[in-house]
Amino acid sequence: MTTDTKLISRIGYKDIFKKSINKDKLIEKIELVPALEFLTVLNKFEYKVHEKDTSELRFICNDWLKSSDEKIKKAIIDYYTNFLTENKRKKRDFTGLQSIKIINQTATLRVIELLLAKGTNNCKSEYDEENLFKLYLSVNDEIAERENIFFEKWQQIFGTKHNEIRFHMYLGINQGIMNREPLGKKIWVEALKFVQFEKWIKNQSKYENFTKDYLKKFDSSEWYELFTLIFHLNKLAINNYKFNVDENSKDLKLLSYFSNHEEKTPNWNEFSEIRKRPLFKLPNGEYLILDFSFLLDKFFSGIYHDILEFSNNTYVNGFHQDYSTNFIEKHLLVNTLKAVFGKSYIQFDEIKIKSVGKKGVDNIALPDYYVRNGNKIFVFECKNSLISNKLKIEANCDAIENDLKNKFYHNGTKNKAVKQLLNFVESSDNGQYKFFDTNTKLEKCIYYPILITTDNTLTSLGFNAILNEYMSNDLRKIDNSLKNRIKPLTIIHINDILLRTTQLKKLDLLIEDYIKYYRSKKAVDSFISFSDYLERVKFKNNSSLDHKSYKEILNNSIFPEN
């Protein structure tokens, strides 16, 4: 169904010139504004640079370095040639120039980050193409040094499944920025989450004044006004890398908020500054779109983090917990799964289960959502927990895994997602759920434990495998008659459910196909996430959406009914 994933080698300054270079001295020579504009265009249209085997090399020599010394161009060409010759001689799996790259999104964003923190604006129109290119190469060295932290830890002891899983998990974390959601998907799901959030929060009277104060920051009085402003902004960004607005435009407060780069740091921070402020205001009043994907996050995901920060600063207690439990788990998840399954199958969310009225129900472990189709039972546990950004920045392998365990396996004596799901399976199989689902053939039931996540990190390489490794330890304690009827854990991002809806209705078949796929593969592809499997394999050539299934989500929302 798809070609196997190939690893790509990134070229740095040390590779070509056999020495390192001082980034700070390079930045001093680079004019900030024209350099940012060049990098913004490169970031938006990078796909064109990699269209053909020789596209990147031609772009670097003929466009980026068009006025540079021929010696530097020759050094670059010689490196490409020698690299390919050596790999052909050693019969490695490198078939062309696209197996090695200089230009990559991680490096582009990192150079933007460094220039925002340390760059100077002397009102010159030229950005010093050669020094910007050398800075770009040295950033590739920096990225390689970060990746070497986990390569050195795991690649030397690669012989066991345990180590192979962790190697790919840390590889996935480091490649996260290059494995982002397609823009068409992101636009749609971010808008849908905004719609659901607006429906939920307008019915929370305790947040009425808090909402008014937050919206006032953008000269808005209703969520629809803010949504319209953000939608207009993203509409401009689809076909442009910069834009301007009228001085009297209502967009100005929002634009000022998205372009106010006051918190500047040259330290590696997973691009948090660009995520928070994805625009840059040019001296002539125009706005550069530093990264379109980060701007799209402002439809909802970015707004949530802004609201969370705002709530902390305004002493609104408990907003995060309320959001995670009552919005994500009880509102968004329930309405989204209703869009998937419609009125088919036996379905219960936790509130509906408790409404049955069984005595002592609060003492029974219940899933966030329960679906049964014949003898196939799906138990869902939804988590709004995020892997620590600080630990990812520090590239602390052991600490990242401990954080994963604490949030998704167990924390002290408290069971988390994986253990909870197995608990639900056992509770169902021993008849504790018969008070709401009168299934009489429990011994024939097949169980599908599903973790719903809001963290994109968990859809990176290796995370599904490592959580299944944890689960396998607990499965050893379960009787074979049940153990053999429990399918491997599947991690599904809430965005995939929002996007696919009824395409996921036969979820058992999709999960079975996913399991067969990764078990049949080797190396990188054997650790593929369910999200990537859906996007790159199952629905690779199918971008259609079932718009009727969104009726429940859009009903009584800020969107016009027709």
For residue 379 the two structure tokens come to 């138990």
* DSSP letter (8 states) at residue 434: T
Sign of CA dihedral 241, 247, 249, 255: positive
Q: Give the DSSP H/E element, type plus range, for residue 394.
A: helix 389-394
On whether residue 92 sits in a domain, the answer given is yes
- Same domain flag for 139 and 207: no
On whether residue 165 sits in a domain, the answer given is no
Cα–Cα dist 206/201, whole Å: 9
Q: Give the DSSP H/E element, type plus range, for residue 533.
A: helix 530-533
- Same domain flag for 316 and 355: no
Cα–Cα dist 196/558, whole Å: 9
- Same domain flag for 225 and 207: yes
Q: Which of 296, 320, 344 is the last residue of a domain?
A: 320
Does the pTM exceed 0.85?
yes
- Same domain flag for 421 and 500: yes
HSE, CB side, 13 Å, CA atoms: give it for residue 139.
Answer: 26
- Same domain flag for 545 and 402: yes
Instruction: Provide the residue range defining the domain that includes 466.
Output: 330-556
On whether residue 152 sits in a domain, the answer given is no
- Same domain flag for 212 and 288: yes
On whether residue 163 sits in a domain, the answer given is no
Query: Terminal CA-to-CA distance of the chain, rounded, Å?
Result: 38
- Same domain flag for 279 and 421: no
- Same domain flag for 386 and 523: yes
- Same domain flag for 370 and 310: no
On whether residue 78 sits in a domain, the answer given is yes
Burial (0-12, 13-18, 19+ Cβ within 10 Å), 135: buried
- Same domain flag for 335 and 315: no
* DSSP letter (8 states) at residue 519: H
On whether residue 168 sits in a domain, the answer given is no
On whether residue 191 sits in a domain, the answer given is yes
Q: Number of structural domains, the chain?
A: 3
* Count of helices and strands (H, E) across the chain: 28, 12
**Cβ-contact 17, 79 below 8 angstroms:** no
Cα–Cα dist 350/153, whole Å: 43
Alpha helices, H only, 65-207: 70-89, 105-118, 129-154, 161-174, 183-201
Nearest residue to 420 via CA among 373, 476, 469, 379: 379
Which pairs count as long-range contacts for 210-218, CB under 8 Å and 24+ apart, including other chains? 210/310, 210/311, 210/314, 210/316, 210/319, 213/310, 213/314, 214/307, 214/310, 217/253, 217/257, 217/310, 218/253, 218/254, 218/257
Amino acid letter at 79?
Answer: Y
**Cβ-contact 289, 237 below 8 angstroms:** yes
Phi and psi at residue 231, to the nearest 5°: -60, -45
Q: Which of 146, 175, 196 is the last residue of a domain?
A: 146
**Cβ-contact 207, 316 below 8 angstroms:** yes
On whether residue 458 sits in a domain, the answer given is yes
- Same domain flag for 353 and 491: yes
- Same domain flag for 300 and 342: no
| pLDDT tens, the chain, 562 aa long | 444 655 677 899 999 999 999 999 999 999 999 999 999 999 999 989 988 888 999 999 999 999 998 999 999 999 988 887 877 776 655 556 667 889 999 999 999 999 999 887 776 666 789 999 999 999 999 988 887 777 776 666 666 888 889 888 888 887 665 566 777 778 888 888 988 999 999 899 989 998 999 999 888 999 888 888 888 887 888 888 999 888 777 788 888 888 887 767 788 888 888 988 899 999 999 999 999 888 888 777 778 888 888 888 776 778 889 999 999 999 999 999 999 999 999 999 999 999 998 888 988 999 999 999 999 999 999 999 999 988 888 878 889 999 999 999 999 889 999 999 999 999 999 999 999 999 878 999 999 999 999 999 999 989 999 999 999 999 999 999 999 999 999 999 999 999 999 999 999 999 999 999 999 998 889 999 999 999 999 988 776 666 666 666 666 655 554 4
Q: Which of 285, 320, 355 is the last residue of a domain?
A: 320
